[in-house]
Amino acid sequence: MTGRAPVPVVTLDGPSGSGKGTVGQVLAQRLGWHFLDSGALYRSLGVAAVKAGADFSDRPAIVKLALGMDVRFVPRGVADTIGVRLNGEDIGEAMRTEEGGRHASLVAAIPEVRQALLQKQHSFRQPPGLVADGRDMGSTVFPDAILKIYLTASPEVRAARRYKQLIEKGFDANLRQLLDEIRERDARDAGREVSPLKPAEDACILDTSQLDISGVVERVYGLLQERQRPG
């Protein structure tokens, strides 16, 4: 094992609605690499806490759930839908709600939870490579990633994207409420004690406000080719 190059990792960080999840899945499929949706781990923990009737202010209880939960991603063959199983149960719909996002943000603010999930995240780093999306993938979880991308977009654009997603799935949605929730979550994620939301020092920052998914994927793929070019 000595001297062997580490498994390459591309990290995609950024706030909710910046497009990193879909971009990550499409990029991973294009490269034939593994994919880690770190946000799904925190959303899964939020679902686990609700199922267990745990108090979100009870840090030891939440950490215990984090250490014991079994989360697996199940590809469905469609770029924007990856099944998520928590302890064998499909929780894809439950964790993708706005409430699921709020619970994820709450548990992610607990330092002990982030430490508990760190090993789970590292376990996804397998050959031939990994595309990891989240909020601290490049700054904390995979600081040696060969390419670190930070995707961003205005709160208004991100709220509009989320509104469209919810309406297309048949859910009721209020654009103003979504915008308020996104701003609140941004503030909470940026101000948390451990691994606050911010670009890694060596990250490439891409504003996706005026780009579609294919445009962002091409940008990231091009940057990766440059990084992997000999010399």
197 burial (CB, 10 Å; 0-12 / 13-18 / 19+) is buried
Residue 18: inside a domain: yes
Considering the chain, what is the average pLDDT of its residues? Answer: 89
pLDDT digits (tens, 9 = 90+) for 126-135: 999 999 999 8
List of residues 6+ apart from 26 with CB closer than 8 A: 79, 213, 214, 217
Residue 3: inside a domain: no
- Least confident range from 7-11, 58-62, 178-182, 195-199: namely 195-199
Residues 57 and 73: their CA atoms lie apart, in Å, by 28
pLDDT given at position 153: 94
pLDDT score of 79 more than 80: no
Residue 231: inside a domain: no
pLDDT given at position 170: 85
**In the structure encoding, which two tokens stand for residue 36, read together?**
């880690």
Residues 48 and 42: their CA atoms lie apart, in Å, by 10
pTM: 0.84
Residues 96 and 28: their CA atoms lie apart, in Å, by 21
Percent of the residues in the chain that have a pLDDT greater than 90, as a whole number? 61
Residue 1: inside a domain: no
Residue 2: inside a domain: no
List of residues 6+ apart from 75 with CB closer than 8 A: 82, 83
- Which residues span the domain enclosing 123? 9-223
Structurally, the chain folds into a number of domains equal to 1
Rounded average pLDDT over 181-205: 87
- Least confident range from 50-59, 79-88, 140-149: namely 79-88
Rounded average pLDDT over 195-206: 90
Residue 228: inside a domain: no
pLDDT score of 1 more than 70: no
Number of C-alpha atoms within 13 angstroms, CB side, residue 122? Answer: 12
DSSP assignment letter at 190: H
pLDDT digits (tens, 9 = 90+) for 37-61: 998 899 999 999 999 999 999 999 9
pLDDT score of 75 more than 80: no
Q: In this structure, what CATH number is given to the domain that contains residue 128?
A: 3.40.50.300
Residue 229: inside a domain: no
pLDDT score of 101 more than 70: yes
pLDDT given at position 190: 84
Cβ–Cβ under 8 Å, residues 142 and 125: yes
